[in-house]
Amino acid sequence: MQRIVYLDRASIPVEVFRPAFNCDWVEYPKTAAADVVARLAGATIAITNKVPIDAAAVDALPELKMIAVAATGANHIDLDACRRRGIVVSNIRGYAEHTVPEHVFALLLALSRNLLAWRATLQAGAWQQSEQFCLFNHPIQDLHGATLGLVGSGSLGNGVARLAEAFGMRVLRAERKGAIQVRPGYTAFATVLAEADALSLHCPLTAETSSLIAAAELQAMKSSAILINTARGGLVDEAALIQALREGWIAGAGFDVVTAEPPPVGHPMLFPELLALPNFMLTPHVAWSSQPAMRALADQLIANIEAFVAGQPQNQLV
């Protein structure tokens, strides 16, 4: 009988149906890194959303045969160690192809139309004091006719592209940074930085993409550009981003992620003076979490496990 251990059940607040086969199912609301090996002892299948499973844990769990990642990103799993041991790692794909793009555009629209600044202006009573029917305190930019740069062309990047085209935006898909050749349908990374009115990130966090956007890249963007990151916090050098916002290298930024989640007290991306800026929006990693998307995630999670047990693993990273 399969022993399935879910390390962080509280991370997906919808019902997770049990597999169609008999199994020993154990779940914990959350698991500290120090408790991973003890809790997975005897498990054949581990489920994790964000709990790390490193090489030491993999080597200490001889009965482990599969890791079912309850998310798309798997940078918290040592894939090389799993490959060496023959452990199947499957992730979730396509479940957020509508909800994340919608969140991207919620951030993009709010920033391009200066909604935070307008709200503050209204709270200050400026409209009531106006001598005419409207105010002109804050500039508003249309998305129609603007250029959107996309870094990452999976289901989320493609979903953002569809919405961008519906808004009448020009879409540029960025080639990999430093690539010698540019693939058909893509544009050189440096060109995208220079031409984008908005840049949206949709790539995984790897050794190659860590700090993909740092000071040099931010300075290469238009001073009127907006940076959107709903992917992973480590894709952007946060110190450089804060400097860029304070010194006007770019016009604004909308983020759903930071490098450490949950962020510790004193994390610079949550400094009150930064959060008070009208050109910066931060949400607590919720772009993925609409009710329909979480339902789809939970169903695909169990489908991945059932496929593995049936001898036909799907959505494999390893």
Owning domain of residue 56: 2-94+292-309
**Do both 149 and 264 map to the same domain?**
yes
Chain centroid to CA 10: how far?
19
Q: Residue 281's pLDDT is what?
A: 98
The residue written with tokens 């962080």 in the block is 8
The whole-number average pLDDT for the span 233-247 is 97
Classified as helix, coil or strand, 290 is coil
The whole-number average pLDDT for the span 235-253 is 97
Q: Residue 225's pLDDT is what?
A: 98
Under the banding of pLDDT at 50, 70 and 90, the label for residue 268 is very high
Q: Residue 18's pLDDT is what?
A: 96
Reported as a single tens digit per residue, the pLDDT across 56-109 is 999 999 999 999 999 998 989 999 999 999 999 999 999 999 999 999 999 999
**Do both 248 and 123 map to the same domain?**
yes
| Residue 140 φ/ψ region, left for φ over 0, alpha for ψ in the -120 to 50 degree band, beta for the rest | beta
Q: Residue 159's pLDDT is what?
A: 97
| Residue 261 among the catalytic residues | yes
Amino acid letter at 111?
Answer: L
**Do both 276 and 158 map to the same domain?**
yes
Reported as a single tens digit per residue, the pLDDT across 136-192 is 999 999 999 999 999 998 999 999 999 999 999 999 999 999 999 999 999 999 999
| Residue 285 among the catalytic residues | yes
Under the banding of pLDDT at 50, 70 and 90, the label for residue 195 is very high
The CATH number of the domain holding residue 66 is 3.40.50.720
**Do both 108 and 254 map to the same domain?**
yes
Catalytic residue, chosen from 103, 202, 232, 238, is: 232
**Do both 85 and 132 map to the same domain?**
no
| Residue 18 among the catalytic residues | no
Reported as a single tens digit per residue, the pLDDT across 272-289 is 999 999 999 999 999 999
Q: Residue 45's pLDDT is what?
A: 98
Q: Is residue 287 situated within a structural domain?
A: no
Planar angle of CA 81, 86, 87, nearest 5 degrees:
75
**Do both 135 and 161 map to the same domain?**
yes
Which residues have C-beta within 8 Å of that of residue 33, sequence separation ≥ 6?
Answer: 51, 52
**Do both 278 and 149 map to the same domain?**
yes
**Do both 194 and 242 map to the same domain?**
yes
Q: Is residue 195 situated within a structural domain?
A: yes
Cis peptide leading into residue 264 (ω within 30°) = no
3-state helix, strand, coil in the chain (%, to 5): 35, 15, 50
Which residues have C-beta within 8 Å of that of residue 57, sequence separation ≥ 6?
Answer: 36, 37, 40
Q: Is residue 314 situated within a structural domain?
A: no
Can you give the pTM of this predicted structure?
A: 0.91
Amino acid letter at 189?
Answer: F
Q: Is residue 315 situated within a structural domain?
A: no
The whole-number average pLDDT for the span 221-241 is 97
Under the banding of pLDDT at 50, 70 and 90, the label for residue 266 is very high
Catalytic residue, chosen from 173, 261, 267, 295, is: 261
Q: Is residue 318 situated within a structural domain?
A: no
Q: Residue 314's pLDDT is what?
A: 97
**Do both 70 and 137 map to the same domain?**
no
**Do both 122 and 215 map to the same domain?**
yes
Q: Residue 288's pLDDT is what?
A: 96
Catalytic residue, chosen from 208, 285, 295, 306, is: 285
Q: Residue 296's pLDDT is what?
A: 97
Q: Residue 19's pLDDT is what?
A: 97
**Do both 302 and 206 map to the same domain?**
no
Q: Is residue 316 situated within a structural domain?
A: no
Which residues have C-beta within 8 Å of that of residue 207, sequence separation ≥ 6?
Answer: none
Work out how many domains the chain is built from and give that number. 2
What burial letters (b/e) apply to 8-21, b meaning 16+ CB within 10 Å?
bbebbeeebeebee
Classified as helix, coil or strand, 106 is helix
Percentage of the chain modeled with pLDDT above 70: 100
**Do both 73 and 111 map to the same domain?**
no
Q: Residue 121's pLDDT is what?
A: 95
